[in-house]
Structure 1
Amino acid sequence: MTQSKRETERKYEPPSGGVAGLPDLTGVGPVASVTTAGPEELDAVYHDTEDLRLAASSATLRRRTGGPDAGWHLKLPLAGDTREEVWAPLSDEVPKSLRELALSRTRGAELRPVVHIRSTRTVRRLCDAEGGLLAELSLDEVRADAAASGGGRAEWGELEVELAEGVHAGLLDVVERKLRKKGIVRADSPSKLARALRETGAGAGAEPERCPEVVAGSPGAHVLAYVREQAGRLVSLDPAVRGDRPDAVHQMRVTCRRLRGCLRSYRSVLDRRVTDPLRAELRWLAGELGAARDQEVLGERIGAALAALPDDLVLGPVAARLRVWEVSHGGEVRSRTREALATPRYLRLLDALDALVRRPPLRAKATGKPARTMARAVLKEYDRLAGRMEEALALPAGRARETALHEARKAAKKLRYAAEVARPALGKPVARLGKRAKAVQSLLGEHQDAVVAQDALRGLAVAAHGAGESAFTWGLLHGLERAGAEARQRELTEVWRAAADPALRAPLPH
């Protein structure tokens, strides 16, 4: 059993004088009252791999006793001051559920104790006028010991301000202004673990392999920065996908596509003998994720269309049949996603992305000036899209045209992602081209969703008819989707004309 919550907090150097040095926060913003609790004794053993892979990704795993939330805690970084904290009950070994959530970071390496931290904590609770908790100020006296024999010891004080769940993050700024007036400044370590590793020596010898020097502002630097960002995003999204978080599968699938697109478009920068096998693996992962995402989108689309119909047009047990269809298909594809993330193949892919960034297979053009090299990559993708669009628009209405439009949609995505990579180097001109490519992609995406929905609705109609139910409603929804697909095709000419404007490409070096 696990429980998850989001925590938003900031850490500060302790005030001189301990608790007595804290300012009175009554009346600060919505704070109406302040109460003091403690002291309490907390005892935590932090676990990590031998080379500190969790710490390197700003994640922490600890087994803590004492306090109201004794148990195992896995903390994963989110945006800004926020982290996701996953709690599991106390046990002697790291719980399997937490090992799985950390797998994209540990890659299956053994987790072992690295630091033992004991804290004596005094808490001030900041409450609103109704007595509801807004935030807690925790003043800790910390004692840390390296877990390895012969390791060092460190002691320090720390002040932590943590918001209660659901409280707006702006309260942290209000409190911080009051703390600054008392001379209380932010701590230079993001976590107790980071400071303990540094000051006890437990983090020595775990420095990651550094990337060879890449010329700043070069095509190689821009491409590697993009790959590094997207590879990190893939790792960060892993726990959300395992936890069936909304939109997580979609975001991971898009990340795979961005990486594939970058490695394809910039083969003049990175050696394809290394990147082509990576692209194949990213395609495999996107395919495994795609089944879950496509089923999710399709179910939501049909459900929304059904809900919009007047009651007198809904004949038979339509809602019940849709629920059965969603459950039967959804369980299968979610299982497929989880199985993919549990494979050694997936972990090898993550390792290969890390290796690509650490030891990039740079080609000669990677070290030159970025304008011409990156513009050529973008314009090459534009030419591919133009060819796909010309082919599709020349076909008569029907399956062949729908298939060709789907291929054009994929080409629009590749152009969009190539433009994203080049934007830091080429600025607004390539950003405008990318924006028009996105418009084409979005319209073609709506068209493709309508095409796929028609196939699903036909299957539902056939099943309903076979069970002796009315197929009228399914046929009606099918007709609406067909009309929608035809409308998107009529809109396409104008949207493509805007994307094909020569003025968009003129500022790019040829």
Structure 2
Amino acid sequence: MTQSKRETERKYEPPSGGVAGLPDLTGVGPVASVTAAGPEELDAVYHDTEDLRLAGSSATLRRRTGGPDAGWHLKLPLGGDAREEVWAPLSDEVPESLRELALSRTRGAELRPVVRIRSTRTVRRLRDAEGGVLAELSLDEVRADAAASGGGRAEWGELEVELAEGVDAGLLDVVEKKLRKKGIVRADSPSKLARALRDTGAGAEPERCPEVVAGSPGAYVLAYVSQQAGRLVSLDPAVRRDLPDAVHRMRVTCRRLRACLRSYRSVLDRRVTDPVRAELRWLAGELGAARDQEVLGERIGAALADLPDELVLGPVAARLRVWEVSHGGEARSRTREALATPRYLRLLDALDALVRQPPLRAGAGRKPARTMARAVLDEYGRLAGRMELALAQPAGRSRETALHEARKAAKKLRYAAEVARPALGKPVARLGERAKAVQLLLGEHQDAVVARHTLRELAVAAHGAGESAFTWGLLHGLERAGAEARQRELTEVWRAASDPALRAPLEH
């Protein structure tokens, strides 16, 4: 059994004088009163791999006794001051549920104790006018010991301000303003673990990567690859728990990485990147079953909800629900199975290696205006060719297939522009936005095409069961009309995207 919550907090150096040095926060923002609690004695043993893979990705895993939430805690970064904390009951070994959620970071390496942190905590609760808790101020006296034999010891004080769930994050800024007036400043370490590893000597020396010239195509491409690879890792726990939109975001991340490695072959050697692209394609395919089923079910359900009651004949909603449950369970199982394979972990390792030891080519050191602009323009040329072919096709299956290929080319142009935007600025950003407009329109078209096939299957199944197929046929007709409307809109959208003035700044 696990539980999770969003944790939003900031850490500060302790005030001189301890609790007596804290300012009175009554009347600050919505704070109507301040109540005292504690002290509490907390004892936490932090676990990590031998090379500190969790700490290296700003995640922590601890077994803590004392306090109201004793148990195992896995904390995952969410950006800014926020983290997600996943809790599991106390046990002697790391719970399998938390081990699985940490797998994209640990890659299956053994988890072992790395440092023990004991804290004596005094708490002040900030309450609103109704007595509800807005935030907690925790003043900790911390003692840390490295777990390894002969390890060091460290002691320090720390002030932590943590919001209650659902409270606007702006309260942190209001409280911090009051703290600063008392000379209380932010701590120079993001977490107790980070400081303990540093001060006890338990931390590992960071691996040094080859230096890449700042402002070069190599630097921009590697920064993008590193960002997207990190996003893939961070989305893994959300996908495993089937959180909303997680599969979609991970699939898009795979596409961004594939497109970048394809478009910038002049920067990174394809002999190294092509096998990585193939594995990213495999992963996106495994994720696609769940995502496509989810989107299709939502689309058909929304269209059904929009129909007047007199046009809904037979047990249509029930049949759609049965279809969603049967197909959805299969798709989610396929996704979970993919994330459990050694193949998936090898892909994450390969992405790490690509960033640590990049296979740079000559184009990596040239001027961005030359290398990166050429990559974007090449992708535009491919899109233009696909669009010309698609628009020349007669209406029907061949045009639908050609438009789907054009959609994929529009994505590649959009993502190539995304990589180049920090280097080339507004001109490439404008071209990317026009490519996105083409992609979204063609995406709507493709969704209508796929929905028609499913609606026909549902109609056949309904007819075979002796039910009316009228409503399914009606929805099929609406999807056909929608696809034809998107095709009519395409001419104008493509004209805007193919304006030579968009490409002129990149061609000189």
* TM-score of the superposed pair, with normalisation by structure 1: 0.99
The aligned counterpart of 2:393 is: 395
Q: Distance in 1 between matches of 2:9 and 2:74?
A: 16
Q: Deviations over 1:71-103 (max 9, x none)?
A: 000000002100000000000000001011100
CA distance in 2, matches of 1:175, 1:370: 44
Show CA shifts across 1:198-232 (max 9, x none): 001xx556234222111111111111011011001
Cα 1:148–1:133 change in 2 (3 A) is same
Give the conservation status (yes or no) of the 8 Å contact 1:413–1:438: yes
1:146-193 residue CA offsets vs partner (Å, 9 max, x unmatched): 001100111111000000000000000000011111111100010000
RMSD between aligned alpha carbons?
Answer: 0.7
Q: Secondary structure at the match of 2:40?
A: strand
User: Which residue among 453, 456, 459 is the counterpart of 2:454?
Assistant: 456
The structural deviation recorded for 1:364 is 1.0
> Aligned equivalents of 1:390 and 1:209: distance in 2?
49
Residues 243-285 of structure 1 show CA distances to partners (whole Å, capped at 9, x for unaligned) of: 1111110000000000000000000111000000000000000
CA deviation after TM superposition for structure 1 residue 463, in Å: 0.5
CA shift, 1:367, in A, is 0.8
Give the Cα separation in 2 of the matches to 1:239 and 1:257. Answer: 19
Percent identity over the alignment is 92
Match of 2:352 among 334, 341, 354: 354
Task: Structure 2 unaligned segments of length 5 or more: list them.
Answer: none
Aligned 8 A contact 2:266 2:363 in 1: yes
User: 1:106: how far off?
Assistant: 0.4
Distance 2:186 2:404 in 1: 52
Taking the aligned partners of 2:220 and 2:389, their CA distance within structure 1 comes to: 33
Shift of 1:425: 1.1
Task: Describe the superposition over 1:420-445 as per-residue Cα deviations: whole angstroms up to 9, x where unpaired.
Answer: 11111111111010000000000000
In 1: Cα distance, 2:475 partner to 2:207 partner: 56
Question: Structure 1: 5+ residue runs without aligned partners?
Answer: none
CA distance in 1, matches of 2:204, 2:124: 37
Residue 424 of structure 1 corresponds to which residue in structure 2?
A: 422
**Whole-angstrom CA distance in 2 between matches of 1:61 and 1:468:** 56
Q: Deviations over 1:124-159 (max 9, x none)?
A: 010000011100000001010000110011111100
Q: Deviations over 1:368-413 (max 9, x none)?
A: 1111111111000000000000000000000110000000000000
Q: Is the 8 A contact 1:371 1:509 kept in 2?
A: no
Whether the aligned pair in 2 keeps the contact of 1:11 and 1:187 (CA below 8 Å) is: yes
The runs of at least 4 consecutive aligned structure 1 residues that moved more than 6 Å come to none
Aligned residue for 2:5?
Answer: 5
Are the equivalent residues in 1 in contact too, given 2:146–2:202 (CA < 8 A)? no
CA distance in 2, matches of 1:39, 1:363: 60
CA distance in 1, matches of 2:240, 2:103: 10
What are the superposed Cα offsets for residues 44-95 of structure 1, whole Å, 9 maximum, x if unpaired?
A: 0000000000000110000000000000000000021000000000000000
| Rounded Cα–Cα distance in structure 1 between residues aligned with 2:422 and 2:130 | 49
- Secondary structure at the aligned position of 1:507 is classed as helix
Which secondary structure does the structure 2 equivalent of 1:356 belong to?
A: helix
Q: Residues of 2 paired with 1:205 and 1:82: CA distance?
A: 24
Q: Secondary structure at the match of 1:54?
A: helix
CA contact (8 A) 2:411 2:435 kept: yes
Provide the C-alpha distance between the structure 1 equivalents of 2:309 and 2:74, rounded to a whole number of angstroms: 48
Which of the residues 435, 441, 444 maps onto 2:442? Answer: 444
User: Partners of 1:474 and 1:159 in 2: how far apart?
Assistant: 61
1:313-336 Cα deviation digits (max 9, x unpaired): 111111111110000000000000
Q: Distance in 2 between matches of 1:503 and 1:136?
A: 56
- Kept in 2, the 8 Å contact 1:231–1:353? The answer is yes
Equivalent position SS for 2:90: coil
- Contact 2:115–2:202 (CA<8 Å) still a contact in 1? no
- Asked whether the 8 Å contact 2:229–2:351 carries over to 1, the reply is yes
Match for residue 47 of structure 2? Answer: 47
Q: Distance in 1 between matches of 2:204 and 2:147?
A: 15
Give me the whole-angstrom Cα distance separating, in 2, the residues matched to 1:118 and 1:483.
66
Matched, 1:289 2:283: no
SS of residue in 2 equivalent to 1:506: helix
Structure 1 CA distance for aligned equivalents of residues 462 and 206 of structure 2: 59
Q: Distance in 1 between matches of 2:213 and 2:154?
A: 40
Q: Secondary structure at the match of 1:39?
A: strand
Equivalent position SS for 2:63? strand
Would the alpha carbon gap of residues 168 and 103 (structure 1) be closer, same or farther in structure 2, given more than 3 Å must change? Answer: same
- Aligned partners of 2:57 and 2:105 also within 8 Å: yes
Q: Separation in 2 of the partners of 1:470 and 1:286? A: 37
Q: Secondary structure of 1:158's match?
A: strand
- Take 1:211 and 1:434, find their aligned partners in 2: how far apart are those partners? 31
Provide the C-alpha distance between the structure 2 equivalents of 1:45 and 1:205, rounded to a whole number of angstroms. Answer: 15
Q: State how far apart, in whole Å, the 2-side matches of 1:104 and 1:70 are.
A: 25
- 1:185, 1:112 → 2: CA distance? 34
Aligned to 2:44, what secondary structure does the other structure show? strand
TM-score, with length taken from structure 2: 0.99
d(CA) in 2 for partners of 1:434 and 1:193? 42
8 Å contact from structure 1 (residues 268, 366) kept in 2: yes
TM-fit CA distance, 1:233 = 0.5
- Measured in 1, the distance between the counterparts of 2:367 and 2:390 equals 36
CA distance in 2, matches of 1:195, 1:147: 15
Q: Which residue of 2 aligns with 1:165?
A: 165
Deviations 1:12-42 (A, max 9, x none): 0011111111111111110011100010100
* 1:137 alignment partner, SS class: strand
